[in-house]
C-alpha cells in the first residue's frame, strides 16, 4: 500500500530508533558492562558508588544519597516520562519507536506476500486488493526472503543485546574473526534461536502479553478516559460497505480498529488503520472514517449500527 505522509514520518522515527538501539552500546550511549560492573551513560561511567563505600572512601549517608541520585531518581524520571506519555497517547513508544515492533511489522508484510496472511495464526487470507487499489498476490518463493529476514534480525538482536553487557568492540571483533569465546557463542546462538522462534511464531503474543513496557503503557492509557483513541465516524458507517475491511487488515496487532477502547488494550497507536482508511476513501473523494480523537469526546457514542459489526 502507498505510504501516507504520517506513515512515512513514523517509518523515519522507527528507523532512527532501531539504529540507535544497535549503536547505543558501541558509542557508550547506554549499556551495562559486566566486566566493570557498572553502567555507561553518554560516554561516562555511571556508578552507584557502592565500591567506594565498601572501600571506606564514603560514609553510609553518602552511599544512600548516591543510590537515590544515580539509581532511584533516574529510573523514577524515566518511568514517569514513559507513563506520562502513555497516559495521554497510549502505547506511543511501541508504535513509533520500539525496535521489536518495527521487526514485527516487517515480518508481517513479508509473510503477507508469502502466504496472504500477516501471521501463521491468521484464520483466513487477507484480500489481495490493497486500500490504494494495488494487488498483492501471495507467492510461495517469498518464504525464502521472509525466513532469511527473520534469521537476520534474530542474529542482529542477539549480538546487539550482548553488546549491552560486554564491550561492543570485543564482541564485533570476535564475531567477524570467528573467535568468539565459548560463553559469547552460546549466548548468541541461544538468543538467536529463541528470537527466531519468537519472530516466527509469537511476535504478536509477546507484544500483547509478554512485554512489561507495553503492558504498563496500556494500563496507564486505559485508566485515562481522555486519552487519545481511534475514533470511528459511526454516522457514516454505510461507507464501509464499499471497503474490504481495510482498517482491520492494516492493523499490525490484528485488532479491530472500529471497536471500543475497552477492546483495544494492545493498540500501539501506529495509526496504520487511519492511513488505510484515508487511502481507500481518497479515491472516492470522501473523508476518512477513522481519526485520532480525545477519548472523552467519543465516549458518549452509541454502539456500532447493525451491519458494521458484520463487516468485521
Instruction: Report yes or no: 50 and 38 within 8 Å, Cβ to Cβ.
Output: no
Confidence check: pLDDT of 100 > 60: yes
- Give the CA distances from residue 145 to residues 80, 109, 159, in Å, rounded to whole numbers and listed in that order: 41, 12, 21
Question: What are the sequence ranges of the domains in the chain?
Answer: 5-217, 226-311
Specify which residues 39 forms β-bridges with.
Answer: 32, 46
3-state secondary structure of 41: strand
* All cell numbers assigned to 8: 512515512
Cα separation values, 19 from 12, 156, 165, 194, 252, Å: 11, 11, 18, 22, 21
Neighbours of 183 (CB within 10 A): 10
CA torsion sign for 305, 308, 310, 312 is negative
Of residues 152, 158, 167, the one with CA closest to residue 36: 167
The order of strands in the sheet holding 30-33 is 30-33, 38-41, 44-46
26 has a pLDDT exceeding 80: yes
For the segment 224-261, what is each residue's pLDDT rounded down to a tens digit?
988 999 999 888 777 788 788 899 999 999 999 988 87
Of 265, 178, 193, the C-alpha closest to 223 is: 265
Give me the pLDDT at residue 203, please. Answer: 95
Q: What angle do CA 169, 170, 176 make, to 5 degrees?
A: 85
pLDDT in tens, 265-286: 899 999 999 999 988 887 777 7
What's the pLDDT band for 102 if we cut at 50, 70, 90?
very high
Spatial separation of the C-alpha atoms in residues 288 and 188, rounded to whole Å: 46
User: In whole angstroms, what is the distance from residue 270 CA to residue 7 CA?
Assistant: 8
- The answer, as to whether pTM is greater than 0.85, is yes
Q: Tens digit of pLDDT for each residue in 173-203?
A: 999 999 999 999 999 999 999 999 999 999 9
Amino acid at each position: 500500500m502507498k505510504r501516507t505522509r504520517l506513515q512515512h514520518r513514523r517509518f523515519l522515527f522507527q528507523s532512527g530508533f532501531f539504529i540507535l538501539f544497535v549503536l547505543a552500546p558501541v558509542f557508550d550511549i547506554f549499556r551495562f558492562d559486566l566486566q566493570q560492573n557498572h553502567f555507561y551513560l553518554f560516554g561516562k561511567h555511571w556508578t552507584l558508588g557502592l565500591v567506594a563505600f565498601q572501600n571506606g572512601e564514603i560514609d553510609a549517608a553518602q552511599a544512600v544519597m548516591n543510590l537515590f541520585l544515580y539509581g532511584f531518581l533516574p529510573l523514577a524520571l524515566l518511568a514517569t516520562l514513559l507513563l506520562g506519555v502513555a497516559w495521554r497517547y497510549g502505547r506511543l513508544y511501541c508504535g513509533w519507536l520500539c525496535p521489536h515492533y518495527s521487526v514485527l511489522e516487517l515480518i508481517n508484510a513479508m509473510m503477507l506476500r508469502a502466504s496472504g496472511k500477516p501471521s501463521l495464526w491468521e484464520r483466513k487470507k487477507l484480500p489481495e486488493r490493497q486500500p490504494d487499489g494495488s494487488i498483492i498476490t501471495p507467492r510461495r518463493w517469498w518464504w525464502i526472503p521472509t525466513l532469511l529476514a527473520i534469521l537476520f534480525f534474530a542474529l542482529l538482536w542477539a549480538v546487539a543485546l550482548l553488546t549491552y553487557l560486554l564491550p561492543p568492540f570485543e564482541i564485533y571483533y570476535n564475531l567477524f574473526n570467528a573467535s568468539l569465546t565459548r560463553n559469547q557463542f552460546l549466548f548468541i546462538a541461544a538468543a538467536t534461536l529463541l528470537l527466531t522462534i519468537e519472530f516466527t511464531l509469537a511476535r504478536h503474543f509477546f507484544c500483547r502479553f509478554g512485554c512489561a513496557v507495553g503492558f504498563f503503557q496500556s494500563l496507564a492509557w486505559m485508566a485515562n478516559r481522555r486519552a487519545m483513541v481511534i475514533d470511528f465516524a459511526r454516522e457514516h458507517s454505510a461507507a464501509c460497505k464499499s471497503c474490504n475491511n481495510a482498517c482491520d487488515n492494516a492493523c499490525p496487532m490484528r485488532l479491530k480498529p472500529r471497536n471500543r477502547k475497552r477492546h483495544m488494550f494492545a493498540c500501539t497507536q501506529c495509526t496504520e488503520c487511519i492511513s488505510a482508511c484515508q487511502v481507500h476513501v481518497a479515491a472516492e473523494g470522501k473523508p476518512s472514517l477513522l481519526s485520532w480523537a480525545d477519548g472523552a469526546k467519543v465516549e458518549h457514542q452509541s454502539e456500532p449500527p447493525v451491519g458494521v459489526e458484520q463487516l468485521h
